[in-house]
Chain A
Amino acid sequence: MPLNTARKPKLAVWKFASCDGCQLSLLDCEDALLAIADSIQIASFPEATRAVIRGPYEISLVEGSITSAHDAERIHKIRRLSKTLITIGACATSGGIQALKNFKDVNEFINIVYANPDYISSLQNSTPISDHVKVDFELRGCPINKNALVEVCNAYLNRRKPNIPTYSVCMECKRRGNICVMVSKGIPCLGPVTHAGCDAICPAYNRGCYSCFGPSEDPNIKSLSGQFEKTGMSKEELIRIYRGINANSEEFKNESIFHEQK
């Protein structure tokens, strides 16, 4: 049915510096994917197929951060071909764990790690897609939650606002019936300043939140750091707690640098 195919909206998935985990979340949506296979056309999806259908695309899902000059150019091309551009995962939305290099001199790493450093061309910083092009929606998480991804695609395909809350993990934590690890056990937890989306999975297993989803809508990080200090956290620990998967997000970056320079 070539005619029909032509009218189906095209969805493309693009990969930049990342582990592919977020794309796998999309593959993991098996049932939902099958359900929409009738109404959309998957035009590019590196984890699933090598075939690429030419743009323009109704929706582009972008995974990964920008770490090379080549990628910094490629993202502009993708933007031009995409009606809606949605970034998925911590790499694409904040720079990812690889953004830890932003706090050091990248050439030092390259010289230590690679036998022939001359072949490596890497930018000093790992940056989110939104530093380079206009992004229509950022879906947080490391990895993203597959139901949230279906919800976002669904919302854009049906031209409505996605139901993705931006408040703290604590809200989900309490709704789930977890017992707060900060209050009941004195375990440091980033939940109060972290964007919801994981359904508070770490506190459910008696661990503090690591902030896989990055800063929440209006995080009061100074106050939480103060509380951590009160419960005996050292300067090094404080720097480290913010230097995780979302180390390069504006709020966490500023806070870790603040403690480093103190």
Chain B
Amino acid sequence: MKKLTIAKNTKYIADKCSIDSLLTLLKEQKFKTVGPTVRDETIIYDELDSISDLPIGITDVHEAGSYRLKERNDKALFGYNVGPFSFKKYLFPPRLTILKTKRVDGKITIIKENDSVDKLALLGVKPCELQAILIQDKIFIEGEYIDNYYKEQRDNLLIVTTNCTEAGNSCFCTSTQSGPEAKSGFDIAITELIDDNGHNFLIEAGTKNGLTFLKKLPLSEPSDNDIETAVKKIKSASENMGRKLETKNLKELLLDNLNHPHWEDIAKRCLSCGNCTMVCPTCFCSNIEDVTSLTGEDNERIRTWDSCFSMEYSYIHGGTVRASIKSRYRQWMTHKLASWQEQFNTLGCVGCGRCIVWCPVGIDITEETKSLQEQVTAQAEQLAQAEN
């Protein structure tokens, strides 16, 4: 057999054993490996020991406000879309102690936090999630102020992306151009192929780091058919998105209609519970609290996820700026889809659909956008007719 030379940005064929070997190799290299696994009838991300921890033969069924698991009729390892939690929690933890101080004899000393992070490998990062990480990079490390914890973990991160060959009912990554295939930003990318030829994976290294691992795996050369099948499957996923978001003139649509009655209509349904911001892989807001012991000797500064749906979020001297649910929902949606573009030169939404699925009353960001779009268009047409 001809010896394969493994190069970057080139696709090879791996089988299930090679994927398992990849996990073993990562562990040998002292990586904490996290990825999808079933817990409580849900696919969440947690530590993986071997590929048997993956949600083998299981998929997720999404509706607005509803999530259920279902058995597949194959043994796919990555045959699901997205669960409630994104990988955000690893780089931007829900609760983080950022400082500890101690007061001795009236003098306050900062106890340096032992913040050293684990080497972390994320397995099964869907393209939309990868895009979300790239967006959070802009926020936490590419701007003027750098988040130390995020940076340290990001520098010790290996990303194994799995491209989507089926789209979920709440997915719209085609609209946000974040999937179903990852173009860059990964260390390793995998596309799962299950057909008459068996159960294989197209695998590719995107970075030098990824390449060193690929070189140690048992791989073979893909046939033209393998490559074609992958292209077809990804294309089919792209054409079968459960949802769609019209992004053309989106910023103008939202920012020009801040007083549209549709916001009131949403406010009647929105609970202002904050679930959508908690599950969104790009939302980055946090609150910082100083916690002091009663004696004032031991103090901690703690950062927790916050949300623009809380009243305190916009509290300034004298009161809350966004006192109504209407203004809070509007903040969320206009930030994600409009002002984010001004702030970070990209949409704040990667089309993962989590905010739709995990909203207890099933408010759908794509439906609300469409409804506003239709109402505004209809009103413009009426106006034009009246003028004629």
Whether chains A and B associate is: yes
Output the least CB separation between B61 and chain A (Å).
11
B84 CB contact (under 8 Å) in A36, A166, A167, A180: A180
Output the least CB separation between A252 and chain B (Å).
15
Residues of the B chain whose Cβ atoms lie less than 8 Å from the Cβ of A36: 294-295
Residues of the B chain whose Cβ atoms lie less than 8 Å from the Cβ of A192: 271, 273, 275, 360-361
Known A-B contacts A184-B68, A227-B360; the reply to A179 vs B42 at CB < 8 A is yes
Q: Is B44's CB within 8 Å of the partner chain A?
A: yes
Distance in angstroms between the alpha carbons of A51 and B89 in the assembled complex: 50
Contacting pair A166 B312 (CB below 8 A):
yes
Contacting pair B274 A183 (CB below 8 A):
no
Which residue of chain A has its CB nearest to the CB of B39? A179
Residues of B313-358 whose CB lies within 8 A of A: 323, 325, 357-358
Which residue of chain B has its CB nearest to the CB of A147? B291
Which of B21-29, B130-138, B194-202, B302-310 forms part of the interface with chain A? B302-310
Q: Is B284's CB within 8 Å of the partner chain A?
A: no
Interface string of B277-300 (1 = CB under 8 A from A): 011000000000111111110000
Contacting pair B361 A180 (CB below 8 A):
no
A184 CB contact (under 8 Å) in B41, B269, B294, B304: B41
Contacting pair A183 B361 (CB below 8 A):
no
Contacting pair A180 B271 (CB below 8 A):
no
Interface string of B71-92 (1 = CB under 8 A from A): 0000000000000110001000
Q: Is B261's CB within 8 Å of the partner chain A?
A: no
Contacting pair A223 B271 (CB below 8 A):
yes
Output the least CB separation between A75 and chain B (Å).
27
Known A-B contacts A186-B66, A224-B361; the reply to A35 vs B294 at CB < 8 A is yes
Contacting pair B293 A218 (CB below 8 A):
no
Contacting pair A167 B311 (CB below 8 A):
yes
Residues of the B chain whose Cβ atoms lie less than 8 Å from the Cβ of A157: 294
Residues of the A chain whose Cβ atoms lie less than 8 Å from the Cβ of B309: 167
Contacting pair B361 A223 (CB below 8 A):
yes
Contacting pair A165 B272 (CB below 8 A):
no
Number of interface residues of B (CB under 8 A): 47
B296 CB contact (under 8 Å) in A32, A158, A170: A158
Output the least CB separation between A155 and chain B (Å).
9
Contacting pair A174 B279 (CB below 8 A):
yes
Max chain A CB contacts within 10 Å: which of B274, B359, B362?
B274
Distance in angstroms between the alpha carbons of A150 and B41 in the assembled complex: 37
Residues of the A chain whose Cβ atoms lie less than 8 Å from the Cβ of B268: 220, 222-223
Q: Is A239's CB within 8 Å of the partner chain B?
A: no
Number of interface residues of A (CB under 8 A): 43
Distance in angstroms between the alpha carbons of A62 and B371 in the assembled complex: 50
Residues of the A chain whose Cβ atoms lie less than 8 Å from the Cβ of B68: 184
Output the least CB separation between B281 and chain A (Å).
13
Known A-B contacts A36-B295, A171-B278; the reply to A218 vs B84 at CB < 8 A is no
Which residue of chain A has its CB nearest to the CB of B359? A183
Interface string of B34-76 (1 = CB under 8 A from A): 0000011110100000000000000000000111100000000
Contacting pair B310 A171 (CB below 8 A):
yes
Contacting pair B361 A150 (CB below 8 A):
no
Q: Is A122's CB within 8 Å of the partner chain B?
A: no
Which residue of chain B has its CB nearest to the CB of A227? B361
Residues of the A chain whose Cβ atoms lie less than 8 Å from the Cβ of B323: 218
Contacting pair B311 A218 (CB below 8 A):
yes
Distance in angstroms between the alpha carbons of A176 and B44 in the assembled complex: 13
Known A-B contacts A39-B295, A154-B292, A174-B94; the reply to A167 vs B274 at CB < 8 A is yes
Output the least CB separation between A201 and chain B (Å).
15
Residues of the A chain whose Cβ atoms lie less than 8 Å from the Cβ of B359: 183
Distance in angstroms between the alpha carbons of A184 and B275 in the assembled complex: 14
Q: Is B260's CB within 8 Å of the partner chain A?
A: no
Output the least CB separation between A160 and chain B (Å).
9
Q: Is B95's CB within 8 Å of the partner chain A?
A: yes
A185 CB contact (under 8 Å) in B41, B95, B292: B41
Interface string of A188-199 (1 = CB under 8 A from B): 010111000000
Residues of A215-245 whose CB lies within 8 A of B: 217-220, 222-224, 226-227
Max chain A CB contacts within 10 Å: which of B269, B289, B294, B325?
B294
Residues of the B chain whose Cβ atoms lie less than 8 Å from the Cβ of A185: 41
Residues of the B chain whose Cβ atoms lie less than 8 Å from the Cβ of A184: 40-42, 67-68, 84
Q: Is B160's CB within 8 Å of the partner chain A?
A: no
Q: Is A168's CB within 8 Å of the partner chain B?
A: yes
Output the least CB separation between A32 and chain B (Å).
6
Q: Is A182's CB within 8 Å of the partner chain B?
A: yes
Output the least CB separation between A200 and chain B (Å).
11
Residues of the B chain whose Cβ atoms lie less than 8 Å from the Cβ of A165: 310, 312
Q: A170-B360, A184-B41 are in contact. List 4 more A-B contacts (CB 8 A).
A: A39-B294, A167-B274, A171-B278, A218-B325
Name 25 interchain pairs, CB-CB below 8 A, sorted by A.
A32-B294, A38-B295, A158-B292, A158-B296, A167-B274, A167-B307, A167-B310, A168-B272, A170-B275, A170-B360, A171-B307, A174-B84, A174-B275, A177-B44, A177-B85, A182-B65, A183-B358, A184-B40, A184-B68, A192-B361, A218-B272, A218-B323, A220-B269, A224-B360, A227-B361
- Nearest 7 CB-CB pairs, A to B? A174-B278, A192-B273, A175-B94, A167-B310, A192-B271, A170-B273, A168-B273
